[in-house]
Amino acid sequence: MFNTKMYLENTSEASDPVVSSVEDMALFLKELLTNDNLANEAVRNTLFGEDNLITLDANRKIGLGIMLLSTGGKTIYTHDGINLGYHAVNAYIEESQTSITIFMNCSNPPFEVPPTVCRDSMTTLFQQILENEL
Protein backbone atom coordinates (compact mmCIF):
# COMPACT_ATOMS: atom_id res chain seq x y z
CA MET A 1 0.00 0.00 0.00
CA PHE A 2 1.25 3.48 -0.89
CA ASN A 3 0.01 6.81 0.43
CA THR A 4 -0.22 9.02 -2.69
CA LYS A 5 -1.37 12.16 -0.87
CA MET A 6 2.05 13.84 -0.97
CA TYR A 7 2.23 13.25 -4.73
CA LEU A 8 -1.24 14.55 -5.52
CA GLU A 9 -1.88 17.41 -3.09
CA ASN A 10 0.43 19.90 -4.82
CA THR A 11 0.50 18.58 -8.34
CA SER A 12 0.58 20.86 -11.33
CA GLU A 13 -0.99 18.52 -13.88
CA ALA A 14 -4.30 19.56 -15.39
CA SER A 15 -6.05 16.33 -14.37
CA ASP A 16 -4.91 16.26 -10.75
CA PRO A 17 -6.26 16.23 -8.19
CA VAL A 18 -9.86 15.72 -9.20
CA VAL A 19 -12.23 14.73 -6.43
CA SER A 20 -15.40 13.04 -7.60
CA SER A 21 -17.65 10.08 -7.05
CA VAL A 22 -18.31 7.50 -9.75
CA GLU A 23 -21.93 8.69 -9.84
CA ASP A 24 -20.86 12.28 -10.52
CA MET A 25 -18.39 11.16 -13.17
CA ALA A 26 -21.12 9.20 -14.99
CA LEU A 27 -23.54 12.11 -14.74
CA PHE A 28 -20.96 14.64 -15.94
CA LEU A 29 -20.13 12.76 -19.15
CA LYS A 30 -23.82 12.14 -19.88
CA GLU A 31 -24.67 15.81 -19.31
CA LEU A 32 -21.71 16.99 -21.39
CA LEU A 33 -22.96 14.90 -24.30
CA THR A 34 -26.70 15.50 -23.96
CA ASN A 35 -27.27 18.83 -22.22
CA ASP A 36 -26.68 21.89 -24.40
CA ASN A 37 -26.72 24.08 -21.27
CA LEU A 38 -23.62 22.47 -19.74
CA ALA A 39 -21.26 23.44 -22.56
CA ASN A 40 -21.96 25.63 -25.55
CA GLU A 41 -21.77 24.33 -29.11
CA ALA A 42 -18.23 25.68 -29.68
CA VAL A 43 -16.89 23.80 -26.65
CA ARG A 44 -18.77 20.61 -27.56
CA ASN A 45 -17.51 20.83 -31.14
CA THR A 46 -13.94 21.30 -29.93
CA LEU A 47 -14.15 18.29 -27.61
CA PHE A 48 -15.95 15.77 -29.81
CA GLY A 49 -17.34 17.46 -32.92
CA GLU A 50 -16.98 15.53 -36.16
CA ASP A 51 -14.67 18.19 -37.65
CA ASN A 52 -12.23 17.83 -34.76
CA LEU A 53 -12.10 14.05 -34.48
CA ILE A 54 -9.07 12.04 -35.51
CA THR A 55 -9.85 8.62 -36.98
CA LEU A 56 -7.79 5.89 -35.32
CA ASP A 57 -9.40 2.97 -37.16
CA ALA A 58 -12.78 1.91 -38.55
CA ASN A 59 -14.37 1.82 -35.08
CA ARG A 60 -12.50 4.48 -33.11
CA LYS A 61 -12.18 8.24 -33.31
CA ILE A 62 -10.68 10.57 -30.75
CA GLY A 63 -11.27 14.21 -29.90
CA LEU A 64 -9.93 16.30 -27.01
CA GLY A 65 -10.17 13.77 -24.19
CA ILE A 66 -13.25 12.03 -25.62
CA MET A 67 -13.04 8.84 -27.66
CA LEU A 68 -15.90 7.63 -29.84
CA LEU A 69 -16.29 3.90 -30.28
CA SER A 70 -18.64 2.30 -32.78
CA THR A 71 -19.48 -1.30 -32.00
CA GLY A 72 -22.56 -3.45 -32.42
CA GLY A 73 -24.38 -0.56 -34.07
CA LYS A 74 -23.91 1.56 -30.94
CA THR A 75 -22.01 4.80 -30.36
CA ILE A 76 -20.01 4.89 -27.15
CA TYR A 77 -18.29 8.01 -25.83
CA THR A 78 -15.45 7.35 -23.40
CA HIS A 79 -12.92 9.20 -21.31
CA ASP A 80 -10.34 7.51 -19.12
CA GLY A 81 -7.40 8.35 -16.95
CA ILE A 82 -4.76 6.62 -14.93
CA ASN A 83 -2.82 8.24 -12.16
CA LEU A 84 -1.05 7.53 -8.91
CA GLY A 85 -3.43 5.31 -6.98
CA TYR A 86 -6.32 4.91 -9.39
CA HIS A 87 -7.56 4.27 -12.91
CA ALA A 88 -11.00 5.40 -14.07
CA VAL A 89 -12.99 4.81 -17.25
CA ASN A 90 -16.16 6.73 -17.98
CA ALA A 91 -18.46 5.72 -20.84
CA TYR A 92 -21.82 6.76 -22.24
CA ILE A 93 -23.76 4.58 -24.69
CA GLU A 94 -25.79 6.99 -26.78
CA GLU A 95 -28.56 4.70 -28.04
CA SER A 96 -29.52 3.27 -24.63
CA GLN A 97 -28.59 6.42 -22.67
CA THR A 98 -26.47 4.24 -20.40
CA SER A 99 -23.65 5.70 -18.30
CA ILE A 100 -20.88 3.45 -17.03
CA THR A 101 -18.05 4.47 -14.72
CA ILE A 102 -15.37 2.05 -13.57
CA PHE A 103 -12.93 3.01 -10.86
CA MET A 104 -9.99 0.77 -9.93
CA ASN A 105 -7.69 1.22 -7.00
CA CYS A 106 -4.50 0.60 -8.96
CA SER A 107 -1.85 2.77 -10.44
CA ASN A 108 0.58 3.75 -13.11
CA PRO A 109 4.33 3.88 -12.39
CA PRO A 110 6.11 4.37 -10.04
CA PHE A 111 3.70 2.36 -7.86
CA GLU A 112 2.88 -0.45 -10.25
CA VAL A 113 5.11 -3.35 -11.25
CA PRO A 114 4.85 -4.23 -14.10
CA PRO A 115 3.36 -0.97 -15.40
CA THR A 116 0.74 -2.57 -17.67
CA VAL A 117 -1.13 -4.56 -15.00
CA CYS A 118 -3.59 -1.77 -14.13
CA ARG A 119 -4.24 -0.75 -17.73
CA ASP A 120 -4.67 -4.34 -18.91
CA SER A 121 -7.03 -5.18 -16.04
CA MET A 122 -9.14 -2.10 -16.75
CA THR A 123 -9.26 -2.82 -20.49
CA THR A 124 -10.43 -6.40 -19.86
CA LEU A 125 -13.09 -5.32 -17.35
CA PHE A 126 -14.36 -2.53 -19.62
CA GLN A 127 -14.64 -4.90 -22.60
CA GLN A 128 -16.57 -7.42 -20.50
CA ILE A 129 -18.99 -4.77 -19.28
CA LEU A 130 -19.54 -3.43 -22.81
CA GLU A 131 -20.22 -6.95 -24.10
CA ASN A 132 -22.93 -7.34 -21.45
CA GLU A 133 -24.43 -3.91 -22.18
CA LEU A 134 -24.47 -4.24 -25.95
Domains of the chain: 5-133 (3.40.710.10)
Q: How confident is the model at residue 36 (pLDDT cuts 50, 70, 90)?
A: confident
Kind of pairing between the strands at 60-62 and 54-57: antiparallel
List Cα–Cα distances, 125 to 52, 64, 103, 118, 122, in angstroms.
Answer: 29, 24, 11, 11, 5
**pLDDT score recorded for residue 72:** 87
The per-residue pLDDT for range 16-35, each reduced to its tens digit, is 556 788 899 999 999 999 99
**pLDDT score recorded for residue 11:** 61
Q: Which residue has the higher pLDDT, 114 or 105?
A: 105
Q: Which amino acid is residue 88, in one-letter code?
A: A
**Which SS3 state, helix, strand or coil, does residue 30 take?**
helix
The per-residue pLDDT for range 46-102, each reduced to its tens digit, is 989 999 999 999 999 999 989 999 988 999 999 988 777 778 899 999 999 999 999
Neighbours of 106 (CB within 10 A): 16
- pTM (two decimals): 0.82
